[in-house]
Structure 1
Amino acid sequence: MPEKNSSSQLIEPEDALLEAFWTRAKNVAKINPLEVIVGLDSVSALRPSAYSLGDSSEEADRLCKLVMDGTKRATSSWVASYQAEDAPLPEVGELSIICDGSGTPHVLARTRKVTTVAFQEAGPEIAMAEGEGTFAQWKAEHDAFFRRECEELGIAFDPDGQVLTEYFEVLYSH
């Protein structure tokens, strides 16, 4: 997402900040770059993708803090959004950098589990893993978020569509 002027909109992280964070995080998390050279760990060869959670800087700040304090251990996405953007689905073992709303990297995370379920069949275990409130709150907030996202992408929201939940572990945070 490109940098935006309003304080409530997300700001794209700067490469220099990401590179500095990645260098420190892979050292602290003991991700050995020598393993890349001998082919044992291709996931650490390149800096992982970086993103903010949510669709406003305030939301990204709040969600990043929940990840950092261990409350949030998962995030959910609309499968049709990946398809509309021709983006690959997350896979177990992938690393990612989670940023706050100003684009500052704070967390190195590894995907440990990926599930897909119809939105109408999503259960309270997802809300618990996301750590954002009750299941009713999760359902209402994600319904609104997915509808906004679909509108921005120019695709129709289908209440029977699929939700992908990515469960992660924090390898490093600051």
Structure 2
Amino acid sequence: MKPTEFFNQAKLELKLPENTPLQSSYQFGAEADKLAELVKKGIKTATTSAYDLYESNEPLPQIGAYDVILNSHDEPVCVTYTDNVQVVPYNQVDAKHAYEEGEGDRSFSYWKKVHDQFFIEEYKSMGKMFNPDTATMVLEKFHVVYPKVKQNG
């Protein structure tokens, strides 16, 4: 199923207005399947992207927007709603955000180790050098709206 079809299905079930736009559909850069499942389960409720690598005409995520999260085969896994977006220096990302990203043991030290390595490679692929003291990040907070997250208990 294509992301737009999946989103249309979600709009029907959620009773959203027909003209509700889809902001984007994307997969997470590293371990797309694993991270998509963490989002679907409501464990991963935040993500970090490099503001420095956005194209000049590329819009930032918008609060109140809907996205389709894809697996590694570009198949839809779930729809999220963006609750908050902040642009902050990399060295100001905190333990709360690291925990909300839901990866590994959810500690800040794990988050920093994994993200340092990810951004080194990401910047390199764009012909740039990652410097944690000068890099700027987009922190996005979201929650799953479709399919509904099953609560334990």
TM-score range, shorter chain: 0.7 to 0.9
- 1:101-140 superposed matches below 5 A: 101-132=72-103, 133-140=106-113
Of 117, 125, 135, the residue aligned with 1:144 is 117
Of 52, 63, 71, the residue aligned with 2:27 is 52
The answer on 1:93 being equivalent to 2:68 is no
> SS where residue 68 of structure 2 aligns?
strand
What one-letter code is carried by the residue in structure 1 that aligns with 2:111?
Answer: W
- Distance in structure 1 (CA, Å) of the matches to 2:59 and 2:124: 20
> SS where residue 75 of structure 1 aligns?
strand
What one-letter code is carried by the residue in structure 1 that aligns with 2:23?
Answer: P
What one-letter code is carried by the residue in structure 2 that aligns with 1:111?
Answer: T
The answer on 1:32 being equivalent to 2:17 is yes
- Residues 135-174 of structure 1 show CA distances to partners (whole Å, capped at 9, x for unaligned) of 1010111111111111111122121211211001211038
What is the Cα deviation at residue 24 of structure 1?
A: 0.8
What one-letter code is carried by the residue in structure 2 that aligns with 1:27?
Answer: L
Structure of greater relative contact order (alpha carbons < 8 Å, 6+ residues apart): 2
| Gap regions ≥5 residues in structure 2 | 149-153
> SS where residue 52 of structure 2 aligns?
helix
Q: Do the aligned residues in 2 keep the contact of 1:54 with 1:63 (CA within 8 Å)?
A: no
- 1:146-165 superposed matches below 5 A: 146-160=119-133, 161-165=135-139
| Gap regions ≥5 residues in structure 1 | 1-15, 37-43
Cα distance change on mapping 1:85 and 1:147 into 2, 3 Å = farther
Structure 1 residue runs of 4 or more that deviate by more than 6 Å after TM superposition:
none
Q: What's the RMSD between the two structures over aligned residues?
A: 1.7
> SS where residue 129 of structure 2 aligns?
coil
Equivalenced residue count is: 145
What one-letter code is carried by the residue in structure 2 that aligns with 1:139?
Answer: K
With normalisation by structure 1, the TM-score equals: 0.77
Aligned to 1:5: none
> SS where residue 21 of structure 1 aligns?
helix
What one-letter code is carried by the residue in structure 2 that aligns with 1:78?
Answer: A
What is the Cα deviation at residue 85 of structure 1?
A: 6.0
The percentage of counterpart residues that share the same residue type is: 33
Q: Which has the higher helix share?
A: 1
